């Protein structure tokens, strides 16, 4: 068989090394006509096609190389990588596994196999592959970090942090700092979170996401000026980055800079950006623009509590028909009942929860709507304390019973009720004398509520101090009249109150020197 000359091989390799992929591909194609069985030519052509984004061409070239010799692990690996790029996970897995069969210490194949399993949420298989990559190469910090990422996705935050720390001990990279910052934040350890976000920014100075999340964390820590600087820097680094635009929009929105916020929501176009713009129009009393956009959104969306709030308030304000059937008469869907698990053994769980709230290492989040009180950072239901897990399970039971009572109701709130109750957030609120939360909704919730651990025994002259007020009006929405429905509930320790997230709610200030402690929560599940 005619052999490709060493000179031609060297010439071709030189083009490849110089990254002149177009010239290398053209040369390979010409030589293949003369040397159709030359494995090197098919492989180089595949590499060049891959580099130029011609993935289908690369598949064809790699497959021809493998047909010549199927026992070269690197060829199987290359084909696996192309299949992954084409979102053909089955093909990718098959060829990565063949590469490993041919070379049991093929570290990169184990790693890429892990990435492929992870992309299809097969977390256990992914972890097993990453562990083999680390066994093959103990200093493989990316594989260790990826195990941490999976643990984080599984809600195993303490384990995730352990792996992120291992990765950082090997190499202090930006991504691992960013990941561990997110884990710490979910655990309510805001100061540690900010520390690692700062380090991620320092190392990976061009990543808009790092700046944006640092700014968001600083904002929740009460550092408004620095938060503003980092949030704006994120958008400056990448003007089209959706998350950065959205987070800056939220910051401006919360600080009542509604006109400027609209611009960033329009650039973001993620999540509830349209509802946020609608809110800004309403707050600015631009009713014509509001109504025009409202009519469009009503036709597009049928399951947005935030949109329900805006639509219902406008309809009541202008005394017109509410065309959005998310949850008519939402105050009828307020649930107030005792949590049996909290009352057992002389309220033992309540006592343990209060003790954990007072003693556990849980950071505070600055809350502009909260007066004379503190609010925790992170998600309590992702922490390791068993008390929070027990409360989580008790609330799941309560919410499931609630659904069974209302399952035949004809509205979107019930039709799309959580199939699996999943708490997107949970935090404690401790108030002292004069404490209260101003009226608001939970824009990112489906169900919102609170379970009460301590309530002032002195409810004041009117018997309503420390109560929760639920209403179809609030949050300083523009009002043309005062004819909005309200419901006031004074809970006892051991009670839970929850409601559609479209409902306004506030705490009525109390003057007693006692504490008021509750754990608030949002359920934001996958819809049916």
DSSP 49-98: HHHTT-HHHHHHHHHHHHHH-TT-HHHHHHHHHHHHHTT-HHHHHHHHHH
Determine the Cα–Cα distance for residues 278 and 292; give it in Å rounded to an integer: 10
- Is residue 114 predicted with pLDDT exceeding 90? yes
In 3D space, the residue among 96, 409, 476 whose CA is nearest the CA of residue 254 turns out to be: 476
Banded pLDDT at 528 (limits 50, 70, 90): very low
3-state DSSP: the chain helix, strand, coil percent, rounded to 5?
55, 10, 30
pLDDT at 300: 92
Q: Give mean pLDDT, residues 300-318.
A: 95
Task: Supply the pTM of this predicted model.
Answer: 0.89
Show me where the domains of the chain are located: 6-198, 206-301, 331-523
Instruction: Evaluate whether the domain defined by 206-301 bears CATH number 1.25.40.10.
Output: yes
List the structure tokens of 181.
């910052």
Determine the Cα–Cα distance for residues 322 and 412; give it in Å rounded to an integer: 14
> What percentage of the chain carries pLDDT values higher than 70?
99
In 3D space, the residue among 9, 10, 4 whose CA is nearest the CA of residue 37 turns out to be: 4
Task: List 452's β-bridge partners, or say none.
Answer: 518
Gyration radius of the chain's alpha carbons: 29
Q: Give mean pLDDT, residues 342-370.
A: 95
pLDDT at 106: 97
Which pLDDT tens digit goes with each residue over 186-209? 999 999 999 999 999 999 878 999
3-class DSSP state of 240: coil
List the structure tokens of 332.
């009828």
- Is residue 357 predicted with pLDDT exceeding 60? yes
Determine contact, residues 52/29, Cβ cutoff 8 Å.
no
Banded pLDDT at 68 (limits 50, 70, 90): very high
List the structure tokens of 295.
């009519």
pLDDT at 1: 56
- Do the domains at 6-198 and 331-523 have one common CATH topology? no
Banded pLDDT at 213 (limits 50, 70, 90): very high
Determine contact, residues 15/23, Cβ cutoff 8 Å.
yes
Which pLDDT tens digit goes with each residue over 417-447? 988 899 999 999 999 999 999 999 999 899 9
Q: What is the CATH number of domain 331-523?
A: 2.60.120.620
Q: Give mean pLDDT, residues 161-183.
A: 97
Find the angle CA(506)-CA(294)-CA(302) to the nearest 5 degrees.
80
Task: List 468's β-bridge partners, or say none.
Answer: 489, 507
Banded pLDDT at 526 (limits 50, 70, 90): low
DSSP 334-353: -EEEE-HHHHHHHHHHHHHH
Banded pLDDT at 527 (limits 50, 70, 90): very low
Instruction: Return the CATH superfamily for domain 6-198.
Output: Tetratricopeptide repeat domain (1.25.40.10)
List the structure tokens of 192.
């540690």
Contacts of 334 (CB under 8 A, 6+ apart): 470, 487, 489, 497, 498, 499, 503
- Is residue 17 predicted with pLDDT exceeding 90? no
């Amino acid at each position: 068989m005619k052999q490709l000359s060493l000179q031609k091989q060297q010439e071709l390799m030189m083009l490849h090394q110089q990254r002149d992929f177009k010239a290398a591909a053209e040369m390979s194609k010409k030589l293949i006509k003369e040397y159709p069985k030359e494995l090197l030519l098919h492989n180089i052509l595949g590499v060049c096609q891959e580099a130029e984004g011609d993935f289908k061409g690369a598949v064809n070239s790699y497959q021809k190389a493998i047909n010549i010799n199927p026992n070269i692990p690197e060829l199987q690996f290359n084909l696996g990588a192309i299949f992954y790029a084409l979102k053909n996970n089955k093909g990718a897995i098959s060829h990565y596994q063949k590469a490993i069969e041919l070379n049991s210490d093929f570290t990169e194949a184990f790693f890429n196999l892990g990435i492929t399993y992870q992309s299809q949420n097969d977390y256990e298989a992914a972890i097993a592959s990453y562990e083999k990559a680390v066994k093959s190469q103990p200093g493989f910090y990316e594989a260790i970090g990826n195990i941490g990422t999976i643990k984080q996705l599984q809600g195993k935050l303490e384990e995730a942090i352990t792996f992120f720390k291992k990765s950082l001990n090997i190499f202090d990279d930006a991504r691992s700092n960013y990941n561990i910052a997110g884990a710490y934040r979910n655990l309510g350890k805001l100061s540690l979170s900010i520390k690692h976000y700062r380090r991620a920014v320092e190392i990976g100075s061009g990543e808009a996401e790092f700046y944006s999340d640092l700014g968001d964390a600083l904002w929740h820590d009460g550092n408004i000026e620095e938060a503003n600087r980092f949030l704006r820097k994120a958008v400056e680094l990448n003007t089209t980055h959706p998350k950065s635009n959205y987070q800056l929009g939220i910051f401006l929105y919360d600080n009542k800079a509604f006109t400027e916020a609209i611009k960033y929501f329009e650039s973001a176009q993620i999540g509830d950006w349209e509802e946020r713009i609608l809110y800004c129009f309403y707050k600015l009393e631009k009713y014509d623009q509001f109504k025009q956009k409202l009519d469009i959104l009503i036709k597009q969306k049928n399951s947005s509590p935030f949109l329900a709030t805006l639509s219902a308030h406008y309809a009541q304000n202008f005394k017109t028909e509410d065309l959005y059937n998310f949850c008519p008469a939402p105050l009828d869907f307020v649930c107030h009942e005792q949590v049996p698990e909290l009352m057992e053994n002389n309220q033992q769980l309540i006592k343990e929860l209060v003790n954990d709230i007072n003693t556990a290492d849980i950071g505070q989040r600055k809350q502009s709507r909260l007066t004379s009180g503190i609010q925790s950072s992170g998600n309590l239901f992702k922490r390791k304390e068993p008390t929070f897990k027990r409360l989580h399970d008790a609330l799941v039971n309560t919410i499931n019973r609630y659904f069974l009572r209302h399952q035949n109701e004809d509205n979107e709130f019930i039709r799309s009720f959580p199939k699996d109750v999943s708490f997107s957030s949970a935090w404690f609120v401790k108030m002292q004398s004069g404490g209260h939360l101003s009226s608001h909704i939970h824009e990112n919730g489906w169900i919102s509520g609170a379970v009460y651990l301590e309530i002032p025994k002195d409810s004041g002259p009117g018997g309503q101090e420390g109560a929760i007020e639920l209403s179809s009006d609030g949050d300083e929405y523009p009002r043309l009249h005062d004819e909005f429905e309200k419901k006031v509930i004074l809970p006892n320790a051991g009670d839970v109150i929850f409601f559609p997230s479209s409902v306004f709610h506030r705490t009525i200030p109390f003057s007693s020197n006692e504490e008021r402690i509750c754990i608030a929560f949002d359920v934001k599940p996958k819809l049916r």
